[in-house]
Every structure is written in C-alpha cells, then in structure tokens.
Amino acid sequence: MTASNDHDIKILNGLIEATIDSADGYTEAAKEADNSRYTSIFQQRATERRQVTQLLQQHVRALGGTPEDDGTVLAKAHRVFVDLRSKMTSHEDTAIVDEVERGEDHIKGKYEDALKDSDVTVGTRRVIDEAYGPVKSGHDQMRDLKHALHGSR
C-alpha cells in the first residue's frame, strides 16, 4: 500500500461514512413520512446510497484498505434530534424534507471537497465522480422538493 493509497483510502472512508449516514437518514425519513410519495422517494434514495457505499467500499478494498462499514456517531445523534423535532412540528413532512435537504447539503459538500483534493489519484477521483452523480441528483431532488413544499404553504 502506497502513501497515495493511504490518502485515497482516508478520503474514501470519509465519504463512505457520510454516505452511510445519508442512507440511514433516508431510511428514517421514510419511516417518519406521512405521505406515501415521500416514503417511496426516501426509500429509493436510501437504496441508491447503499449502492454508492458499496462502490466506494469496493474501491477501498482494491486499494488494499479496510472500508468503513458504519456511519458517524454525530449522525446518529442528529437523527435522534430530527426524530424529536419532527414529532413536535405540525407540518411533519415539511420538517422531514427540510432535515433531509440539510443533510444533502452536507454530503454534497463532502463529495465536492473530495473532488477538489489534488492529492487524490486519478482512479480514485473517477470513482468519487461516479458516486457523486447520484449524490448530486438526490441533493437537487430534495432541494426542489423543499422549495415546492415551502411554496405551497
């Protein structure tokens, strides 16, 4: 394992944690949503994020590293807070979408930072770019959904 692999593995494992957090967040949002349309969207995004996680984990293994397989403690605490907050609001689906969209801003930023990292090898950058596509799509979908919900009130 080379030094460049160490750096790539570190970057990828950070993205894996964030992506697991995102998948778990979508799973929780699907459980909490009142509207079945949102439940379906959240479930699809959770599945998609788990697939992205697998892609990143495979690349870490190919680099000779051990991939992360769990999210962050901070995200678990955030989900508890979101759960409590969503139960106290009268516009539950709107609150859930707001929180999901906030998480999407976070994960999109992490991927963009990784793509800007000049120390990441070309092969790893390609994998990150491939994984970024569905992440950006999910972000944009949640942003648009949030704006639509806030515009309809």
Cβ(59)–Cβ(53) below 8 Å: no
Long-range interactions of 29-37: CB distance < 8 A, separation 24+: 29/96, 29/97, 29/99, 29/100, 32/83, 32/86, 32/92, 32/96, 33/92, 33/93, 33/96, 34/92, 34/93, 35/93
Tell me the pLDDT tens digit for each residue of 78-106. Answer: 555 555 555 545 457 888 888 888 889 98
Q: Three-class SS of residue 152?
A: coil
For the chain, the straight-line distance linking the first and the last C-alpha, in angstroms and rounded, comes to: 55
Tokens of 18: 């964030």
Distance CA 47, CA 76 (A): 18
Give me the percent of the chain exceeding a pLDDT of 90.
59
Angle 135-10-131 from CA coordinates, rounded to 5° = 20
Q: What total of structural domains would you count in the chain? A: 1
Domain that holds residue 114: 3-151
pLDDT of residue 63: 97
Residues 30, 46: contact at Cβ < 8 Å?
yes
Angle at CA 38, nearest 5°, toward 33 and 42? 90
CA 69 to chain centre: 14
Residues of the chain with pLDDT under 50: 88, 90
User: What pTM does this model have?
Assistant: 0.86
pLDDT at residue 88, rounded to an integer = 47
CATH number at residue 62: 1.20.1260.10
